[in-house]
Amino acid sequence: QVERDVGGAAGPLRLAMQAQDGHRRHGDDGLGGMAAGLPAPALALDPRPAHRLICDLVNARPGEITLVAVGPFTNLALALAHDPSIAGKVRRVIVMGGAFGLKGHGGNVTPVAEANIMADPEAADQVFTAPWPVTIVGLDVTQEAIMREADLAKLRGRGEGAGDLLWQATRHYQQFYDARDGIGGIYAHDASAAALLLVPEAFTLRAGPVRVVLEGIATGQTIQDWRNEHGSGTPWSGHPSQQVCIAVDAARVLALFDEIF
């Protein structure tokens, strides 16, 4: 619900807040203008800041927690700074972010930068170079998973109101992408990251260390050294290999909506 104080990061780690057009894509409230009509949450907010909550949950259940980040990675970076030991206790980290130039998919806020990375490039670089297993679900696959308007309409009236909520929340979002890309629907960005947990066989992964460009014209670009042929002394040297999604069975991912709703 909007207008509630939630303990999270107030801004990026180091760089000034990057100007973005999220309101143009998602509306002023992030839900296409319909957030004010939602019922009050049934659960009380946890009083801990987000990064403290992450640390506490991971320490309470070592080896069990998978973290899924579908926004800027600032809270993950703050959690690592607060308690570096969580890197060895997290089962897995899945993030929606980045773009690696596959199948013509570049960035969505600059020619090379994706929005979640550009919002805090420093945090993203720290998350990718930390000694925990990260799988990156970037625009290379999320922009292959397109929910057409007919797919969204089919879910209306299903899922005890969830289908109607999805329809209403995506009206503004679809208008943006119809005007910009003419896709007749929406990109299932965040849903693709969640789908990786449910149907991992739908994704093809590529291993290699990943770095984020932190300054200059390419700020926010994500670059993977997947060949690992460049030896020592490079920006990727000494950093852990992470997994990048390079292909997706989009039909299988989208079929999840029919199965879940």
Strand 242-248, strand 134-137: pairing: parallel
Catalytic annotation present for 189: yes
Please state whether 196 falls in left (phi above 0), alpha (psi between -120 and 50) or beta: alpha
Distance CA 70, CA 189 (A): 8
Distance CA 242, CA 132 (A): 9
| Cβ–Cβ under 8 Å, residues 132 and 90 | yes
| Cβ–Cβ under 8 Å, residues 125 and 211 | yes
Distance CA 153, CA 166 (A): 9
| Cβ–Cβ under 8 Å, residues 84 and 125 | no
Distances (CA, A) of 174 to 48, 54, 96, 99, 113: 35, 33, 19, 21, 21
Distance CA 11, CA 122 (A): 12
* CA 66 to mean position of chain CA atoms: 14
Q: What is the DSSP string of 233-255?
A: SSTTTTSPPEEEEEEE-HHHHHH
User: Residue 197's CB: how many other CB atoms inside 10 A?
Assistant: 12
**Three-state secondary-structure class, residue 96:** strand
Catalytic residue among 26, 105, 172, 189: 189
* Residue numbers annotated as active site: 189
